[in-house]
Amino acid sequence: MWLLLILFLPVVRGSPALMAVSDAVSGPVRGSLTVQCRYEPGWETYNKWWCQGAELKSCRILVQTDGSEREARGDRVSIKDNQKLRVFTVTMEELRWNNADTYWCGIERYGPDLGVKVKVTIDPVTEQCHYSPGWETFMKSWCPDADLDTCTIFVETTGSEFKVNILSINKKKHTFFMITLGE
C-alpha cells in the first residue's frame, strides 16, 4: 500500500513569503527597539521566532510563538503575532552593547525554516544638564535615580576636570553632557 502525502505550503511568486519591515534597526543603550516582520497568507498559524547569530542555520532562538497570537517572552525580548495583519512584532528591552549583532525573523516549517536577516545596532545615550552661572568650579555628577540620597553616581567631576568621551563641560553655556556608553 502506498501513501501519498501532499503538503501545500504557501508560495508567493515574485516576492518573499517573509520580510522584515526594515533590515537594520537601532535602539539606545538601556532602551528598547521594535522589529516587525510581515508574512504572506497561509503562514498565520505557524510558529514565529527571533534568533541571534550570523548564520540562519546556526542562530540561537531567543523567543518563539506557539502558533497563536499570544505574546511569548524571553530574557529582555518578546514576540507577538498579529495573524489578521500577518505581521509579528519583536521587542528587545534594556538594550546592552552586546545586543548589537545579526538577528533573524523566522517561521518554523517542515524542511528549512523561513528566515530574514535584521542587523541590530546600539546607540549611545547623550544627556544634557544645565546649571546656573557661578557653579562652573563645583563638582558635577550623574545619578540615574530621583532620590539623590540613595543613588549610585555613574560619573563625577572635580571642578572642571572630566573623563574624555564620558562627560563634557561647557562653562560658557553653563551645561554639561554625559554620554552613557553602556555596561
Q: What is the pLDDT of residue 1?
A: 43
Q: What is the pLDDT of residue 100?
A: 95
Beta bridge partners of 169: 176
Q: What is the pLDDT of residue 164?
A: 42
Could you tell me the three cell numbers for 77? 525580548
Which residues in the chain show pLDDT less than 50? Answer: 1-15, 161-165, 182-183
Q: What is the pLDDT of residue 147?
A: 60
Residue 167: Cβ within 10 Å count: 20
Global model pTM greater than 0.85: no
pLDDT digits (tens, 9 = 90+) for 21-49: 999 999 998 899 999 999 999 999 999 99
Q: What is the pLDDT of residue 137?
A: 74
Is 31 within 8 Å of 95 (Cβ atoms)? yes
